[in-house]
Structure 1
């Protein structure tokens, strides 16, 4: 396994830069996810690491080895694709053994490593089947076993679960996390699914328009997003315009010209127009709360219930709370709320920067 360093990377399509001045270090042995919407450059960057796309600028390293001009076959990578890319005419065992045969390892090593990954991926019972006799999840396990069997320095995974149904996706993402931790291989994982990224990653790089917006642990990105894009892309949030005011050295947020909230973490920050991000679970129902609202709709989701509430300063906010058997609020009911001040985020008016101090 290798640390991956990317310094000042550049990629150009048809004379238009799609990635420029991109820098990232992916720690050795970590599961690192490139997350973002379609067209943000995440798969392009993955293919540059793999050697499938040319590199127009910058330096790419596996450990201390520069790989810019190295053939893909020489980079010692394992690759798992969205469409599995396993050989339909070969058995499961022969698919897993394919890369080892290409490396011309000894017969003993071939049999030992093939068996090891058949068992690790829990597909040993399907060893003699052809891929068309397997489910999508089983086929993806074959693809992962084949990629790992050659003992690569780096494992690259491009939207590997997007063709699976919801239940299989949940099962496979847990399997991938467990296996990656057990094998300890440096893994770069591409997805547009933020829940998937949060569930499996050691670190996530959130991308937009060919640029990395923020790198951090899932918890960091959720609770302290660097900008409005990250806040809205990772999870759900209410984004509300407000005015930050300084009153004798104390910071207050004023919503809609009427509701005022004291925010000690912003003391000393200059008065300005701001955008406030409040997660649905950080609006708390409280009889002693000072925000009055009326329920306009609700959605029962089992563990949680989502409420849409009209307040004096916002036409519609989303509030999430744990469902209870006893109580069922309905459209038209009045509620009082308070805000968990420690968990809100406040951005500049253009959404480009978080004004909150780190925890």
Structure 2
């Protein structure tokens, strides 16, 4: 396929317009050269900071070389989609959660973003095909070995913050990223400079000190990793630091000065479902597996499964003891899971009861 430079420039403009129509907040185009991050990424892996996320170390060089992942790729169309709910005082509301309330990361309270973004990116890719004819493309959303933040930064959507997330001067960090790898030599956008300066708010607030250095996160300490990616028991020494965060953690984003510019979602898919912005842990802990699977249908939370869901909430209920020691309702709901078939769930329940001063000598 041969397309003139002017036609490619016009197409790039059209892609941005079509993306807006599909609910994306911003689209930019970058090249695929990520050689500048290969050494630091390998050092991160060598340090073991990826924990059980073995997929981060697989696929060889494909993760930092998109043209090896999808042969023929010369450009990446990077897109962001805001997910902030319609609440002007969202930061204040998050910080005001009581000790018996379940804190669930903002992004996970609505529909599974993987499906939303992938579907809309696919529509965009097909819209391009309708305009120019067949071309090579592949759509990604937090899937396959793709360095989304690095590619988005290369395209000028923002810069990598000290918490390792992408930051935008116009939109903070409360957005999802997705991309289309294409074989079209579209004109590229310029990267933007970093604007974190001397600020270390995200590093200072991290409950487990997972941001071990600016721009470097030890996932093994991160609450999001511990409550979502980790399959086994949560290390005992980290449990008290997790508090009542039962799925993910937004602390580093809540304190980031740039998030005063965070924008609300343009699509309704990310609106809060099932009252997950104001749910008591004792109620969530009482769900059986059938209820969990039914209620969480279409939610990203569903992928951790009922066992890990109970594990996480047990830790939260144990930590509630700091303000609600021996609370009868909490103790009762914990005791109701002492005979759970999962050894991991029972172990976390026993720990939680211990925080409330209830010692369990044996587990049936």
Q: TM-score, normalised by structure 2?
A: 0.26
Whichever of the two has the greater Rg, that structure is 1
Q: Which has the higher contact order (CA 8 A, sep 6+)?
A: 2
Q: TM-score, normalised by structure 1?
A: 0.26
Higher normalized strand content (fraction of residues): 1
Higher normalized helix content (fraction of residues): 2
